A and B are shown apart, each in its own frame.
Chain A
Amino acid sequence: MKLVSDATWYWFLVFLVASISIGWPTVDVVRLRKFFRRPPEERTHDELFGMIMGLLLAGVGGIGLLKHFMGW
């Protein structure tokens, strides 16, 4: 059972992956900026580590997308 054609499905996936690869780091960058605006005593190591990991994961996701298109 196919809901849409293969081509439509492919571009839906590309759009979804691209949206996440762009949206995810954007959210983490905004959070990171807010984090550094807070007083040092309100910042936690766990939050910072989480945001750095989030950015790394988003980067890895973006590389996956590039890998797909560049045929690496």
Chain B
Amino acid sequence: MGPVFNPANAVTASRYLTLPAFLYHYDKGNIQVAALVILLCAVIDLFDGAVARIFKCSSGFGELFDAITDGICYSFFLIVPALYGQVSWIPVAVILGAGVVNSLFRAIYAKRAGRATNYRSYAMERCVAYVAYTTGAVVTGFESAYFVWTCAGFILFILAHDAKRMLVDPVPA
């Protein structure tokens, strides 16, 4: 496992800087800037894997940190519009709840593996991308109800599929 402080994890950590910027601009009604901040967060997410490969510092912790950062950032981008009443709390709560349960399952999976490892779910990776897409839709008001409800349905379905693999199936060496 590579060191915790490495260029790839620094790139991942830099995504947290978008959170206060988003809150500030959303609160001020600068929706265009707030949406671009979400886009920036998503774009940075595309680079941490490449940085890890370039600097040869890939690690189980890095993957886990990336997954946790995805969860925190996109949850934040959904909670804020819900707090401001721009979108219904119910689908947002479903998405957040599924995110928490997914993190819990991943922690159990890491404990079963006996190391800091991330369960790789191809479907959940796409669903996280869809959550990012949904946050943009919610903030800009682009068919927000449609996107947030479909997102809630998909995340529950994929979580149900992944649960058995994380909790029951043998952990690969």
Contact = CB atoms under 8 A, between A and B. Distances in A.
Interface of chain B, helix or strand or loop or mixed? helix
Interface in A17-72: 17, 20, 24, 46-47, 49-51, 53-54, 56-57, 60-61, 64, 67-68
Contacts of B126: 50, 53-54, 57
A71 B165 CA distance: 41
Binding site of A, secondary structure by majority: helix, strand, loop or mixed? helix
A20 B161 contact: no
Given A53-B158, A61-B130, A68-B143, A9 B32 contact: yes
B125 A50 contact: yes
The range of chain B's interface size is: 20 to 34
Nearest to A53: B123
Contacts of B123: 46, 49-50, 53-54
Contact of A57 (B28, B127, B143, B165): B127
28 contacts: A1-B25, A1-B30, A1-B32, A4-B32, A13-B140, A16-B136, A24-B129, A46-B120, A46-B122, A46-B123, A47-B122, A49-B122, A50-B121, A50-B125, A53-B127, A53-B158, A54-B122, A54-B123, A54-B126, A57-B126, A57-B127, A57-B130, A60-B150, A61-B133, A61-B147, A64-B150, A67-B146, A68-B142
